[in-house]
Structure 1
Amino acid sequence: MRTLFFILCFFFLLNLHGQKLVKKAFVNSRTESIQIDSQYCYLVNLGTAKTNEVRVEADIEGEYSKDLLITIEDKGTTVLISAGFQPNFINPNDKLSAHKVISIRLNIILPEDRNVFVYGTNSNILVEGRYKSLKVKLSDGRCTLDNVLGKVGVTTQKGDILLTAEKGNIITESAYGKVEKETIPQGQNQYVLKSIEGNIHLKKTK
């Protein structure tokens, strides 16, 4: 596994409130999918643009902010984006403390029409843009889809799913939550939204 050597920008802005990192990397033609690990993130804003590069901006706060690391890695035909710790970080082995001090927000811009997979636990995911396919898998986190174009699948354990769309083919299923629907006309985009305990809200674009 090698880190993409074409990282164009990597800098830190330090202040009393935390740390900001920005990374950019070209995505080559052999890349088939992009995966985003949001394990340590409380919020991920995800969008697309007509570009051939990935741009990741992270706002990091907390006692251990200097030990946190944003990586963009090339794993064969997959690009992996994640937030983690520096290799020399020593875990204080205090789950309550770790939960308290880690606070990462990611803003990610990806090339359009790519296969994208986002996975996490308590992360809140806000998505815009155009994708070949988009899959989101969360536990307690909420997923908000704002006029996302493409083939979309979202699965949560307890987190709510909110979809705003002009039109599309929509399948919803919540075992123990509620499904609230506005009438959305049929269209080319596909949305499969499933939750165990979370609520699903469908809203037509005004």
Structure 2
Amino acid sequence: MFGQTQQRKTWNASTIESIHLDFPWASSIAINTHDDSVIEAHYQTEGEYQDLYLLKSSIVGVHFYLEEYQRPNWNNPGDKLSAHKVVANMISLTIPKGLYLSLSAKETQINCSGDFANLKIRMEHGAAVFNIKNPKGSIQSLSADLHFYGLASQQLPKNIKVNTTLGNIVVHPN
């Protein structure tokens, strides 16, 4: 059996205005907001290649960047069986309320709730659940189903543009 690898990190976000996330291999992403001026991340990898992926962060001015990357010195076995190895990467983030959030992901399950100044979310496949009272910005997907909770009506607000080419957009009003 293969265990799991966990990383926990925190950053002071008292001067941060925007958060930029790039998670191309994450299978599950949870983002919540809180009243503190701290960014908290819990990253967990499971499976036979659990040590293949890591997190890298940087702060440039008022912008915080967090990305998932593949270990550069990884020795890929290159055999036919290695193509079927299972890896599950899960990230849970808690960020300060009222920030701009940019997220890029491939095939994942997203759960995003809280208070954001603006959203820019791009994902390819999977599903996403948003529980945001007054969403602003844009959400784009190739085939993910997008679910919205916590809205006052059955219509998306005019200040958010939502597009999924092959998925469904479902609004669950209060």
* TM-score tier after normalising by the smaller chain length: 0.7 to 0.9
Instruction: Please tell me whether residue 27 in structure 1 is matched to residue 10 in structure 2.
Output: no
2:162 alignment partner in structure 1: 193
> Displacement, 1:200?
0.8
- Residues 1:53 and 1:82: Cα distance change in structure 2 (over 3 Å): same
2:30 alignment partner in structure 1: 45
How far, CA to CA, are the matches of 1:43 and 1:94 in structure 2?
27
Deviating beyond 6 angstroms after TM superposition, the runs of 4 or more aligned structure 1 residues are none
TM-score, normalised by the number of residues in structure 2: 0.86
Superposed, which structure 2 residues align to 1:1-206 within 5 Å? 16-29=2-15, 31-92=16-77, 97=82, 100-167=85-152, 183=154, 190-205=159-174
Deviations 1:80-110 (A, max 9, x none): 1122233422344579845743210111001
- Residues 1:73 and 1:91: Cα distance change in structure 2 (over 3 Å): farther
How far, CA to CA, are the matches of 2:80 and 2:130 in structure 1?
31
Q: Which runs of 5+ in 2 are unaligned?
A: none
- The letter for the 1-side match of 2:68 is A
How far, CA to CA, are the matches of 1:118 and 1:66 in structure 2?
23
- Residues 1:94 and 1:47: Cα distance change in structure 2 (over 3 Å): farther
> Displacement, 1:19?
1.4
Q: Could you say what secondary structure the match of 2:67 adopts? A: strand
How far, CA to CA, are the matches of 2:46 and 2:171 in structure 1?
33
> Displacement, 1:46?
0.6
How far, CA to CA, are the matches of 2:57 and 2:33 in structure 1?
17
TM-score, normalised by the number of residues in structure 1: 0.74
Give the total of aligned pairs: 174
> Displacement, 1:141?
2.4
Higher relative contact order (CA 8 A, sep 6+): 2
How far, CA to CA, are the matches of 1:98 and 1:23 in structure 2?
31
Deviations 1:24-50 (A, max 9, x none): 111242x33211112110010111101
How far, CA to CA, are the matches of 2:112 and 2:43 in structure 1?
16
- The letter for the 2-side match of 1:55 is E
Supply the RMSD in Å over aligned alpha carbons.
2.6
